[in-house]
Amino acid sequence: MMLGELTGNIHIGLAFGGAAIGIGIAAAGGVMAIGRNPGAFGKVFTTMLIGMALAEGLAILAWIVIK
């Protein structure tokens, strides 16, 4: 008896799950930092976006390059 079946590109799902966790952590850190020091909004926001982009870039690398 088979209860379920997993097919398709599981590595993409795993990679994007990891990227989502990373982006969430970056956003949480950014919100905390801006809440403590609202004057540093610009710098914190820029750094947060760069961190998010780097986390997300690896997932997209996994999506496109690895087959």
Partner 1 sequence: MLTQIVSKNACERIHDKANFAALTLEPFSSAGVLLSEIIFVNRFGKIIFVMAFFAALFAVRLNAEPAVVAAVPAPAEAAEPLVSQIAPTLFHLGPLPVTNSMVCTWIVAALIIVIVRLTTWRMKEVPGTGQNVMEALIEGWEGLMGNVLEPKVVKWVFPFAMSFFIFIVISNLTDLLPGVGSIGMGHADKTSPLPFAIEHVTKPFFRPPTTDANLTVAMAGIFFVMGLYWALKYNGPFGLIKHVFGVKVETNKWLYPLLLLLFIFIGVMESFSILFIRPVALALRLYGNIFGGETMLTMALSQKPWWFAVLVAIPGYFFEVVVCLLQAFVFTMLVVAFVGTLCTHADEEHGH
Site for partner 1 contains 40 (CB under 8 A): no
Dist. CA 7–CA 64, nearest whole Å: 18
Instruction: Write down the residue that tokens 């390059």 correspond to.
Output: 65
Complex with partner 1: residue 4 or 42, whichever CB lies closer: 42
Shortest separation between residue 36's beta carbon and partner 1, angstroms: 19
Q: Which residues contact 63 (CB under 8 A, 6 or more apart)?
A: 12, 15, 16
Question: Site residues (CB under 8 A) for partner 1?
Answer: 8, 42-43, 46, 49-50, 52-54, 56-58, 60-61, 63-65, 67
